[in-house]
Structure 1
Amino acid sequence: MPHRSSTISVQIIKLRLQIAHAYGIDVEQVLQRVGLTSTFLNRPLARVTVEQDRAVWRELVALSGDTTLGLKFGNQFQLNGLGVLGYILLNSPTMAQALRLFSRYEHLVADIRRTRFVEEADSVAFVFSHAGFPDDEAERYVADWVIASVKVVTYNLVGVLSDSVLKAVHFKYPRPPELETLSVYREIFGDVTFRFNCPDTRCVFSTQLLTMPIIGANPDLLTVFEAQGQELIEQYHSENWSDRVRLEIIHALKGELPTLGDIATKLTLSTRSLQLKLQAENTSFQDLLNGVRQEMAMELLRKKSLNKTEIAYLLGFSGASAFSRTFKKWTGRSPSAFQKQKTPLP
């Protein structure tokens, strides 16, 4: 289960769900199926795990039946979805500076680095890496969302982006046979070169992009927002007890349930102190434990490498029946029904 402890800001998830709502998708049903709540998403420093993020994509596509949803949602991306990071980019003097600042403050939106910038003699590329992630349908949706968002954010920062600046877009997955004309791709990226079956996903720009000024950038505001960004990163590291508890639960959940006392000891806190810290973040140990168990159950059921009895044991249930009842309470579906549900394939 790669990168299980890595997290993504709920601001990104909230923006995506707002777009989904506008598309007529039942957002509450998505949240129920992946074990998230609106209350949790409204916590300023809250994060979701990478697997929860992927689960959200699976449910969105399953409910819509549209495998190009990642591209379409990315095309609706708004800079305010990046929070303070968005304002840092908006007030950078040039695109070159914006790219450097994105790398510096990327932790504001995710604590796993999947992006990098590659500068060559006649081009600069935004690269989205797939190393360590399963090559499945959710990876396509995530990559489509990211790369379409990059094009839109770049457009918003510098104005109209001509075909001479955006040169090519590469995708790791094979060319979708059902999208032979690539009309959705051309509608979003324009008349550029598209390549599939590539080692990574990337937008390739002319080096002209680096010297382009950011429209309306204010150096005084940049100083203010950079200070806010640094403060938020420090605050996240010092105060986000929910993610620390979630990570300890993941490490401890191996056939028996960890208790609040067990986790408090791991974090060198008293039980009462940990309760108060979680309460201040509008959550509880039981909510976090249930969330981790649901997330792991969904992932294990998708992989089909263990049967229900084995999954029940691993997640600390008394037996397969208890696991099945709880899973249906979580998602509205039995484990068997969940496994039978097919997400549209690329």
Structure 2
Amino acid sequence: MGLASRLAVAHLECRGINPGPLLKQAGLSATALTDHNRISVMGQIDFLGLVSRAVADDWIGLTLAADFDLREMGMLYYVAASSHRLGDALQRLERYARLGNEALVMRIKKGPVCRVELSYTGVPRHLDRHQMECLALTFLRLCRQLVGQKVMPVSASFIHHRSGDLRAMKRHFGEGVEFDASADEICLDTALLDVVLVDEDPFLSDLMLKSCEEAIAGRLSNASPFRTLVENTIAPLLPHGEVGGKTVARRLGLSDRTFSRRLKAEGLTFAEILNDLRRDLAVRHLEQRTLPVSQIAWLLGFHGPSAFSHACRRWTGKSPIKYRRDSPTGLAMPV
């Protein structure tokens, strides 16, 4: 629905920056945002990255999510807020989350703690940091507003890499924040699920359920490209040295044979997908100039810096250090 993009446009305008060129660069339409039309999820991810650099805010997702009126979420806000208990609201968000972002899948796993897992379908997860952080903080703020309490997660984890000063993240999510994790997940105290919501409204609840069911029936598709599904399975495994066709097939619930057949049917190989994924991530990690090359090698699942350096020369014709030095913004894509 473009909410994060609209918030980003307003943020730029408040700073006296014309959002037009950045929207164009991300392939987004200013008219579509103004008219609240649906936009490309990948375009929004790219736009948030461009805005982050334009305003020199590496935590732009948190900045945008920190204080906007949650009613701007539209029907998602009202279908959650009109529920009886927080547990009911989370179940509704699990079902209807894709009304706000068609790439977003939300899963609730109840146990000693309530695990709220966020993931993407049809969109490469490894290309994003800011949108996922924006989504996570928006979700947490919504929980706080619904129950009227300063809810803090038991823990929170993100697939993407972060290092250095993490105070901005810890201020919102507490000390138990982990990066380079195997899943994007927020863990809540299970007792919160039974808390009655401050704005419970059974009449509005019935209306919103009907509206959301009609919307989800008319808009959503369950299809997702197989390559993106494989990429999103590989990405969190890279830093843990667990990448292999057999491991990925098992995580997808496929036999080795079926996995190979699916790849072949789409003209793909596992080695090609892994290589392209590492290349894309390498470019993005090299953009973070304070991130040591040795750590990038680890994040990409290489056995050491020399193996990464060899791969970088194959991708770009340059060593990691020279590539970083020759790209003033760190954004030039490899040829």
- TM tier, shorter chain? 0.5 to 0.7
Q: Do the aligned partners of residues 145 and 20 (structure 1) sit closer, same or farther apart at CA in structure 2, a change above 3 Å counting? A: farther
Q: Do the aligned partners of residues 21 and 212 (structure 1) sit closer, same or farther apart at CA in structure 2, a change above 3 Å counting? A: farther
Work out whether residues 108 and 232 of structure 1, in 8 Å CA contact, stay in contact via their aligned partners in 2: yes
Instruction: Report the equivalent of 1:176.
Output: 163
Match of 2:99 among 87, 95, 108: 108
How far, CA to CA, are the matches of 1:143 and 1:186 in structure 2? 16
**Equivalent AA in structure 2 for residue 184 of structure 1:** A
Q: Do the aligned partners of residues 37 and 343 (structure 1) sit closer, same or farther apart at CA in structure 2, a change above 3 Å counting? A: same
Instruction: Report the equivalent of 1:126.
Output: 116
Give how far 1:156 is off.
1.2
Give how far 1:147 is off.
1.3
Give how far 1:117 is off.
1.4
Is 1:74 the equivalent of 2:65?
yes
Match of 1:39 among 31, 40, 46: 31
Is 1:211 the equivalent of 2:194?
yes
* Structure ranking higher on relative contact order (CA contacts 8 Å, 6+ apart): 1
Give how far 1:159 is off.
1.4
Work out whether residues 77 and 152 of structure 1, in 8 Å CA contact, stay in contact via their aligned partners in 2: no
Is 1:145 the equivalent of 2:134?
yes
How far, CA to CA, are the matches of 2:103 and 2:124 in structure 1? 15
Give the TM-score taking structure 1 as reference length.
0.59
Work out whether residues 109 and 115 of structure 2, in 8 Å CA contact, stay in contact via their aligned partners in 1: yes
**How far does the alpha carbon of each residue in 1:20-39 deviate from its partner, in whole angstroms, 9 at most, with x for none?**
44455532332232232322
How far, CA to CA, are the matches of 1:19 and 1:93 in structure 2? 35
Q: Do the aligned partners of residues 233 and 132 (structure 1) sit closer, same or farther apart at CA in structure 2, a change above 3 Å counting? A: closer
Is 1:154 the equivalent of 2:143?
yes
Match of 1:84 among 65, 75, 79: 75
**How far does the alpha carbon of each residue in 1:107-149 deviate from its partner, in whole angstroms, 9 at most, with x for none?**
32122343211211x200211226775465x411122111111
Q: Do the aligned partners of residues 25 and 127 (structure 1) sit closer, same or farther apart at CA in structure 2, a change above 3 Å counting? A: farther
How far, CA to CA, are the matches of 2:134 and 2:10 in structure 1? 14
**DSSP-derived class of the 2:185 partner:** strand
Is 1:13 the equivalent of 2:1?
no
RMSD (Å) for aligned C-alpha atoms: 3.1
How far, CA to CA, are the matches of 1:153 and 1:343 in structure 2? 34
Give how far 1:210 is off.
0.5
Percent sequence identity over matched residues? 20
Instruction: Report the equivalent of 1:26.
Output: 18
Work out the number of aligned pairs and report it: 231
Give the TM-score taking structure 2 as reference length.
0.60
**Equivalent AA in structure 2 for residue 124 of structure 1:** C
Work out whether residues 168 and 205 of structure 1, in 8 Å CA contact, stay in contact via their aligned partners in 2: yes
How far, CA to CA, are the matches of 1:235 and 1:114 in structure 2? 18
How far, CA to CA, are the matches of 2:44 and 2:8 in structure 1? 10
How far, CA to CA, are the matches of 2:105 and 2:16 in structure 1? 30
Instruction: Report the equivalent of 1:188.
Output: 172
**Equivalent AA in structure 1 for residue 117 of structure 2:** V
